[in-house]
Amino acid sequence: MKRVIYLILFALVVISFNSCTTDETTADTSLLIGKWVSGTEHYKYISGGTGYTWDTADDVKEEEAQKFTWSLEGMELTLIHEQEMQKVKTTRAIPKVYTIITLTAEKLEYKDDFGKKFSFTKE
């Protein structure tokens, strides 16, 4: 009978310690600010949650870049691209959500919901 009681107490202790741990980490927003490059793709994050993106392969320069807004909560990076609709003369918002894998002063890596990874270096 004592063994059963000790076994139950041990199980409760193990369960209680396990439930107290947290794996939640938060990316440092200040590290995101600046220009990031991956091949011909460029992203410029500005403090306050705005930014620009352009692709030199499409012969687009920074002055002609597409505007986006961004937010960072925990390790979740949300970009909302503003796409202009020429025929209707309106703008539509296109949200994209990524999970940050690595964010340092020189390296940014994230993945989308499909597991596709993106890697950038700071310019």
Q: What is the pLDDT of the chain when averaged over all its residues? A: 87
Contacts of 104 (CB under 8 A, 6+ apart): 31
Instruction: Give the predicted TM-score (pTM) of the model.
Output: 0.76
Look at residue 73 and tell me if it is in a domain.
Answer: yes
Look at residue 11 and tell me if it is in a domain.
Answer: no
Look at residue 3 and tell me if it is in a domain.
Answer: no
Residue-number span of the structural domain to which 59 is assigned: 25-122
Q: Where are the alpha helices (DSSP H) in 20-84?
A: 29-32
pLDDT digits (tens, 9 = 90+) for 1-10: 666 565 565 5
* CA angle in degrees (0–180, nearest 5) for 19-77-114: 85
pLDDT digits (tens, 9 = 90+) for 19-76: 444 456 889 999 999 999 999 999 999 999 999 999 999 999 999 999 999 999 999 9
Distance between CA atoms of residues 100 and 109, nearest Å? 6
Burial of 110 (C-beta count, 10 Å sphere; 0-12/13-18/19+): buried
> How many domains, in total, are found in the chain?
1
Assign residue 57 the CATH number of its domain: 2.40.128.280
pLDDT-derived band at 89, boundaries 50, 70, 90: confident
Look at residue 17 and tell me if it is in a domain.
Answer: no
Look at residue 82 and tell me if it is in a domain.
Answer: yes
